[in-house]
Structures are given as C-alpha cells and as structure tokens.
C-alpha cells in the first residue's frame, strides 16, 4: 500500500491564482482531513470528510473548498490564493467514520508559497 499520497510536493503561486492540492489513500479509509501547519501554530484543521459525498468545515475553512466524490480522493481547492495561505498542507486519513477518535495516517505534505 502506498498509504496517503499528496501532490505536488512543492508549489509556488501568485496572489489570486487558484489551484488544487491532491490527496489520495489506498487503505479504503472513510475519514479524510486536511490540515495546515504554520511555524509555531501546530496543525489546524481546514476541512474533513467522513465518507464519499460528506464534507464538513474545520477550524480554518475560509478560502478553501473540498469535495469527496470517491472514497480514495479528497482534493483541496484554493479559490484565490493569498499570501496568508503560504503554509505546509497535510492530508490525513483514518479507518472509520469516527476518524477523530482513531489513529490518523498522514501524507508527506505539500509546501505552498503564495507570492
């Protein structure tokens, strides 16, 4: 199993550009989530999903959209990038719908810079 994969590894955007960060898992996990990690801030939850077709907001959802059309994929879309979105983004998955109450498996991260 590849586990949780994320693409791209690095990305530089200009303010106002849009892009999609890809996340996929091959473990048939129901729960998937996106976090951003900023220096001195730990990880903050952006959006999460408990299964295909179901998404919900986390702590810092503004400026981001998600969808979950399949169990495997959970893309994160930046609609109009801002310098404040410069961060490292992590995708994670967990086996059951009550994913917050179980072990999370993390991807390697995407380092995004917005100029």
Binding site for other proteins (CB under 8 A): 4, 31, 33, 35, 40-45, 48, 50, 58-59, 90, 92, 97-109
Per the DSSP assignment, residues forming a β-bridge with 95 are none
Question: How is residue 45 written in tokens?
Answer: 């939850």
Query: Please, which residue, 31 or 64, has the CB nearer to other proteins?
Result: 31
Quick one: 14 or 40, whose CB is closer to other proteins?
40
Q: Which is nearer to other proteins, 14 or 103 (CB)?
A: 103
**Nearest residue to 83 (alpha-carbon basis) of 5, 12, 31:** 12
Are 81 and 18 in contact by the 8 Å Cβ rule? The answer is yes
């Amino acid at each position: 199993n590849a586990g949780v994969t994320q693409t791209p590894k690095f990305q530089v955007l200009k303010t106002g550009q849009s892009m999609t960060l890809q996340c996929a898992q091959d473990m048939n996990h129901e729960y998937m989530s996106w976090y951003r990690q900023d220096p001195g801030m730990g990880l903050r939850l952006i959006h999460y999903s408990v299964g295909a077709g179901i998404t919900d907001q986390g702590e810092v959802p503004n400026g981001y959209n998600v969808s979950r059309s399949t169990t495997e994929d959970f893309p994160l879309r930046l609609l109009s990038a801002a310098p404040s979105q410069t961060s490292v983004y992590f995708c994670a998955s967990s086996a059951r719908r009550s994913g917050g109450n179980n072990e999370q498996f993390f991807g390697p991260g995407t380092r995004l810079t917005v100029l």
